[in-house]
Amino acid sequence: MRRPLVLALAATAIVTSSAAAQVATATSTAKPIAGTRCSEFPDDNWWHADVSGLPVDSHSGQWLSHMSTDVDLHPDFGPSYGDGPDYGIPITVVGSAHRKVHVRFDYASQSDQVRYPLGGDTRIEGGRGSSGDKHAIVVDKGRCRLYETWNTRVRKGHWIAGSGAVWSLGSNDLRPDGWTSADAAGLPILPGLLRWNEVQADQVDHAIRFTTDVTSRHHLWPARHDAGSQSSLAYPPMGARFRLSASFSTSGYSAYAVTVIEAMKTYGLVLADNGSPWYFQGDQDAHWPAHLIEELGTIPASAFVAVDTSSLKVSDDSGQVATR
């Protein structure tokens, strides 16, 4: 996952979401984030939406023609790849009493200007010396608040990041349209991470974040931002959702791999950032089995189609989905 050097800085006004009256409690029937009572947003949030019955998007063929579909999916996590001994995006869980610090943002106008619970215990993607994206994901388990930063570093005792965003995990509210987050799509990263504990429990109930290299300068609800190089709508936009074919055979795959494959058929993949084509992201966990990572790397990109999620939208400024 490599973010472009320049993000599109669209000038937008902060929008007050009409979804405020639709905020759900932080607890739900979804499996809580490990070490917390907090779910990844309400059950009726777009990340949890079943897209298995939605129509194929009219742009599917065009988008896929620019997405290197002659390759297999690449798990962007696991025991022995990339930065560090255990590859993936780590999640730090803290209590509400954790000290909060000021963060200086490179893209301050689109970052949430609050104090973040960062410290010596904060795990950073690839480690603090990484040349990669250096995402930090922190969950305040007492308040069920999510803090995410990109290009996170410490310089002379001061915290600096490219951008940062904060969410209430019990709310469907979106960021102002045009704003980035710690992700190019302006979406949270956490709900799109495949996590070992949920695979092990056969409880993957959300879409999975992935990247491709050439994208459009457009984004689809509920994405709020884009950082593409192409003005043409023939290229995939941020927020596009892709579904694995229902006919894709799970024969020969392990039970854990089948859990992931079925999630890709039900919830799909979400285009959330620019990067290597068909790299999908998971958490940093030393327990990921090497054989599972190898299995997941045999799923062909050609077995996916883009789906039209427009019928799910309740409000432009809410991630809540319509009951179907």
- The confidence score (pLDDT) of residue 31 equals 73
The residue whose two tokens read 């194929």 is: 56
- The confidence score (pLDDT) of residue 83 equals 57
Q: Which residue has the higher pLDDT, 21 or 62?
A: 62
- Amino acid 294 reads E
- The confidence score (pLDDT) of residue 211 equals 98
- The confidence score (pLDDT) of residue 6 equals 35
Mean pLDDT for the stretch of residues 76-94:
82
- The confidence score (pLDDT) of residue 86 equals 73
Chain-centre distance for alpha carbon 213: 16
- The confidence score (pLDDT) of residue 32 equals 85
Q: Is the pLDDT of residue 9 over 50?
A: no
Residue 22: pLDDT band (50, 70, 90) is: very low
CA-to-CA distance for 211 and 59, rounded, in angstroms?
Answer: 18
Report the percentage of the chain scoring pLDDT > 70.
Answer: 89
Cα angle: 22, vertex 25, 31; to 5 degrees: 120
Q: Is the pLDDT of residue 29 over 50?
A: yes
Q: Is the pLDDT of residue 1 over 80?
A: no
Contacts 24+ apart (CB under 8 A), 123-127: 123/90, 123/91, 123/92, 123/284, 124/90, 124/152, 125/83, 125/88, 125/89, 125/90, 125/284, 126/82, 126/83, 126/84, 127/83, 127/84
